[in-house]
Amino acid sequence: MKIIKTLTGNINRPFVKYPNGESKGKIETHRDDPDRKPLVSIIIPTADATRDGLLPSLLEQLKQQTFRDFEIIVIIGDTRQGRAINCGAQVAEGKYLVTFDDDTRLGHNDLLEKMVTQIEQYDDIGMAGVANIIPENASFFVRRLMKELPRRTSPIVIEIIDSDMAEHPCCIIPREVFIEVGGENELIPRGLDPYLRRVIRTAGYRVVVLPDLYIHHLPPKTFRKFLRQFYRNGKMAAYVNKFYPEFVVELTTKHLDQVKEKRSLTVRSFSYLYRIIKTLITLKIFYLLSLVLYLSGFIIGYMTLKKDSV
């Protein structure tokens, strides 16, 4: 595929409900045929256009897809994932938006073909994701993380099911729906998936997981990166809870689980303590460590972070 367009600087995003300043990211649009309007716009935000070599690998996998009627929009260098995706959606020309994280690995060559074929049959679907499974060649460390940590894996389903497990690493959204709900929330640095699922459901659309489709979206591959990620996740969660509590959304851990109403910080704190005790009893060491790291980051973040400081 060829780069047919490169944009730098701010992209005006009039449809966005919760904007946050100008984007300083660079946008590259890739297409096979520059003169043909695609059916699908693939949006990939990335900090450095490489992600330890995983982004180039993803782009190579996309070249092997049986479905070819797409453009790829790579947003490079925007620190806000939501803003980056919104910028990509603003310049997208496809009927459907497909988001990938820059470290996503595709499970099979007909993934896009089956995603598009299925969503085109249902007008009531506003967001559709796929399963995330452990690759056969995963290291012992990665395999243990994915088995112990909630939401790090999700099983392949055999029929379309309503599920809170649809996520940005691989999901498809009709562009009209994305525009209708105001796009991604650019104010929050964490919790984008739950926010987007909630506003799509509130607008009257279904959030589902599609059958027989899967990707590999892996946790950090080294212990050091694991420590850094969960501590940072805790700090970013503290920022949202402190300054934008209205955007905090409860999570589920399984397909078909109902999303619960948001609980008070006190109730969530006791629930968190219960999870820590449970992991001690069940000897899920990596899960326990992730909880401790997250809590440490949350406490420090809540005490030190100021609004618009991240």
pLDDT in tens, 272-308: 999 999 999 999 999 999 999 999 999 999 999 999 8
Quick one: pLDDT at residue 264? Answer: 81
Domain that holds residue 14: 2-219
Asked if residue 228 and residue 215 are part of one domain, the reply reads: no
Asked if residue 293 and residue 210 are part of one domain, the reply reads: no
From 192, 219, 246, the end of a domain falls on 219
pLDDT score of 160 more than 90: yes
Quick one: pLDDT at residue 5? Answer: 86
pLDDT score of 43 more than 90: yes
Q: Is residue 310 part of a domain?
A: no
Residue 202 to residues 111, 181, 185, Cα–Cα distance (Å): 28, 9, 15
In the predicted model, what is the mean pLDDT of the chain?
94
Q: Is residue 271 part of a domain?
A: yes
Asked if residue 36 and residue 129 are part of one domain, the reply reads: yes
Quick one: pLDDT at residue 1? Answer: 81
If you ran DSSP here, which 8-state letter would residue 289 be given? H
Element (H, E) at 280: helix 265-282
From 196, 219, 242, the end of a domain falls on 219
Q: Which positions ≥6 away from 253 have C-beta within 8 Å?
A: 150, 151
Asked if residue 261 and residue 194 are part of one domain, the reply reads: no
Asked if residue 195 and residue 105 are part of one domain, the reply reads: yes
What is the mean pLDDT of the segment spanning 35-60? Answer: 94
Coil/strand/helix, residue 161: strand
pLDDT score of 197 more than 90: yes
pLDDT in tens, 116-145: 999 999 999 999 999 999 999 999 999 999
Contact 188, 244 (CB under 8 A): yes
Number of independent structural domains in the chain:
2
List beta partners, residue 97: 41, 173
Asked if residue 199 and residue 104 are part of one domain, the reply reads: yes
Asked if residue 53 and residue 11 are part of one domain, the reply reads: yes
